[in-house]
Structure 1
Amino acid sequence: MTHSEPARAAACRTRSPAVRPFAAVAGTGITVYGCEQDEADLFREMAPRFGVRPTIVEAAVSEANAAVAAGNRCVSVSHKNRIPDRALRALSRAGVVYVSTRSAGCDHVDVEYANSVGITVGNVAYSPDSVADYTLMLMLMAVRGAKATIRRTDAHDYRLGDERGKELRDLTVGVVGAGRIGTAVMDRLRGFGCRVLAHDIRPTTPAERVPLDELLQQVDVVTLHTPLNADTHHLLDRRRIEGMKRGAYVVNTGRGPLLDTQALVSALESGGLGGAALDVLEGEEGIFYADRRNGSIENDLLLRLQGMPNVIISPHSAYHTDHALVDTVENSIVNCLDFESRKQHRT
């Protein structure tokens, strides 16, 4: 079974960007780790309005710098780096009792271990439109063969390609995970006139709801929007990928390990699948968000995927919009204030 986005709250707690705190806890200190310049500017801009004192740390949270949080019960962390257990222990020793991750997912934190050392973990809600828009962009690029077209024109070859593109209205699209983002994707798909199928454990979705294996057998495009957990790791495994329609496309803007990457590569190389558009990838850690132009990449599957004309790769950037960044910073602050005021919102 797969889980929609609200199911994350079983492990970590989420606030909606539409809700504001009832009251700020004056003078609350928040240590902000892994904070890049654009985030730092927003934290400093919003701090007076919320009555908080942010301590900005550019480096990701670690055992070595956890002591910087001493005196602050709440910290905010980035999703770009996994938080090791030893860092959680060090935060706990420094007096931290709440970690707000600036992401919708918590798979980079061992939430159960955090709880065992006295730390509650909360995630944030941000504009679902950021990822939904990007998903539709990737979907359109995939079915129109945009990568091959751009490659040819970059080389000044302006001939039409051998393969014609497909129109979404002629296709059946499957959405796996009908949380806020999956629902926003389905809202957009209705405008294209295509048939939409959904798979989710929620009793109602804005589309026809079918079992996962049945969905995969029927759709021309599948897009993944379910959180990553033990149940959804390799949700699209070799068996399910081989059971998809010949020539179908896979779009993933959720989490890399939702897909069995080796099985995906095999299906693409054999011609079983028509293409893929991936904003996330297994083994992306240490590669995405870094300039690797002059270094080697120790991920053979990534290199094989990037060499394919029918595969689009982007570096986990679907969420990266002005609006979503404001939501993320604001709701990370709100999470901490709610925790301090004991007005924690449980989904």
Structure 2
Amino acid sequence: MTYSEPVGITAFGCGRDEAARFRELAPRFGVTSTITESAVSEDNVRLASGNRCISVGHKTPITPATLRALRRAGVSYISTRSIGYDHIDVDYAGRVGISVENVCYSPDGVADYTVMMLLMAVRHAKSTVRRADVHDYRLHHVRGKELRDLTVGVVGTGRIGTAVMERLRAFGCRILAYGNRAVESGRPGPPGAPGGPGASDDPGDEVSLDELLTSSDVVTLHAPLNAGTYHLLGRARIQRMKPGAFVVNTGRGALIDTVALVAALEDGRLGGVALDVVEGEEGVFYADRRNAPIDSKPLLRLQEMPNAFISPHTAYYTDRALSDTVENSITNCLEFESRNQHV
């Protein structure tokens, strides 16, 4: 591709390894890069001056005021280094003249982590490790479960959900699937509904959401967060789940009504949860909070429970995903400029 003007990108919210990868890859694509550790805000949009494209992380919401400030600075394209873009009001961005796209990265890291969390949940790993750390080596009072004896319901059958199902087949468990097109519409899909873009040709037994919830020993969430999927697992749906079932979430925290989830754990309705994402994680995850108060009572309560395993939104955090997100952010920018170089 050739351009009448140099192509530049400003990368906001970069960690040290992301910054190093931008500096390594941008020159290979003929792109100049401006890189900052700070998340994009009204106060630093000047760093985008001269660049129509910016790259942002998923950790900090981008406010309407920041979007307006970016547009005034000449930005017309945002590539978010994430699959989800619920941290950006995409419709509002469009109204002020900014296009927003996400990136694809290898689904394998999140899929691997999901299976790890699932195994930890059904084998009571949190309480076992906690006791061993204080030299209490007694066995858990409840025996663990083997995956070949379980039915696992996968909600969302895009690239990550499909990769999870591929791994689960090796364990011999029964797989139920609720596909992406139904998930994204927020409506239950009929049996046999297609799984959506990136889905496997053999997605497992495709069922309605109600059937998946009532039949699954484990439910794992891989749906995008949008108006239709907010609190996809609310109080009523959690009550319809099998007694003693487990929930795994490596998607987005707000897919689950956390207050209802805590209640179901406290009354013994659910057997346990493994959550890499939690509603209200913003401002808590990715920070050292050892000596700072945490306002989220549901999060604090979950972390007290022996059958609730919590990790800080880290399933995506692999070397391969880093390379993919940075490279695809750059190529997204180049493709945008290719489409709009004469505009």
Letter of the 1:223 counterpart: T
Amino acid at match of 2:335: D
Per the alignment, residue 286 of structure 1 pairs with 283
Aligned to 2:262: 265
Give 5+ residue unaligned stretches, structure 2: 182-192, 196-201
When residues 343 and 247 of structure 1 are mapped into structure 2, their CA distance, relative to the original with a 3 A threshold, is: farther
1:256 aligns with 2:235: no
The one of 115, 133, 139 equivalent to 1:136 is 115
Report the CA distance between 1:67 and its aligned residue.
Answer: 1.6
Match of 2:16 among 16, 37, 42: 37
Contact 1:67 1:90 in 2 (8 A): no
Query: In structure 1, which of residues 151, 172, 186 is the aligned counterpart of residue 165 of structure 2?
Result: 186
Shift of 1:203: 1.4
Q: Distance in 1 between matches of 2:119 and 2:97?
A: 46
Please give the root-mean-square deviation of Cα atoms over the aligned residues, in Å.
Answer: 1.2
4+ runs deviating over 6 angstroms: none
Query: Distance between the aligned counterparts of 1:144 and 1:108, measured in 2?
Result: 34
Which of 140, 152, 162 aligns to 2:131? It is 152
Determine the structure 2 residue equivalent to 1:167: 146
**Counterparts of 1:215 and 1:206, CA distance in 2:** 14
**TM-score between the two structures when normalised by the length of structure 2:** 0.92
Between the aligned partners of 2:309 and 2:218, the Cα distance in structure 1 is 14
**TM superposition shift of 1:24:** 6.1
- In structure 2, the partner of 1:108 is 87
Partner of 2:190: none
Structure-2 residue corresponding to 1:203:
194
Letter in 2 for 1:173: V
What is the rounded CA distance, in whole Å, between the counterparts of 2:150 and 2:49 in structure 1? 55
TM-score, normalization by structure 1:
0.91
What amino acid is the match of 1:239?
A
**Aligned: 1:238 with 2:229:** no
Inter-partner Cα distance in structure 2 for 1:343 and 1:149: 57
SS at match of 1:124: coil
Q: Which residue of 2 aligns with 1:83?
A: 62
Per the alignment, residue 220 of structure 1 pairs with 217
* Of 335, 339, 343, the match for 1:342: 339
Amino acid of the structure 2 residue aligned with 1:129 = D
Report the alpha carbon displacement of residue 70 of structure 1 after superposing the two structures with TM: 1.0
Q: How do 1:45-60 residues align onto structure 2 when only pairs under 5 Å count?
A: 45-60=24-39
Local SS of the residue matching 1:191: helix
* Residue 92 of structure 1, aligned match among 40, 49, 71: 71
Which residue does the alignment assign to 2:198? none
Q: Which moved more, 1:216-225 or 1:202-211?
A: 202-211
Letter in 2 for 1:269: E
C-alpha distance in structure 1 between counterparts of 2:13 and 2:253, whole Å? 21
Larger RCO, structures 1/2 (Cα 8 Å, 6+ apart): 1
- 1:299 aligned partner: 296
Determine the structure 2 residue equivalent to 1:323: 320
Distance 2:26 2:174 in 1: 46
1:158: Cα distance to partner? 1.1
Counting matched residue pairs gives 322
1:48 CA displacement = 1.4
- Structure 1: gaps spanning 5 or more residues: 1-22
**Among candidates 271, 276, 286, match of residue 273 of structure 2:** 276
Asked if 2 retains the 8 angstrom alpha-carbon contact of 1:24 and 1:337, the reply is no
The answer for the alignment partner of 2:199 in structure 1 is none
Distance 1:131 1:343, change over 3 A: farther
Task: Choose 154-163 or 195-204, whichever is displaced more.
Answer: 195-204
Q: Deviations over 1:319-344 (max 9, x none)?
A: 00000010000000000000001189
Note the C-alpha offset of 1:281: 0.6
Distance 1:184 1:274 in 2: 25
SS at match of 1:95: coil
Match of 1:15 in 2: none
3-state SS of 1:233 partner: coil
Corresponding position: 1:66 with 2:45:
yes
CA distance in 1, matches of 2:138, 2:252: 36
Amino acid at match of 1:253: T
Q: Using the TM superposition, give the Cα deviation of residue 213 of structure 1 relative to its aligned residue in structure 2, in angstroms.
A: 0.7
Alpha-carbon distance in 2 for matches of 1:343, 1:215: 45
Q: Percent identity?
A: 67
Rounded to whole Å, the distance in 2 between the matches of 1:171 and 1:268 is: 20
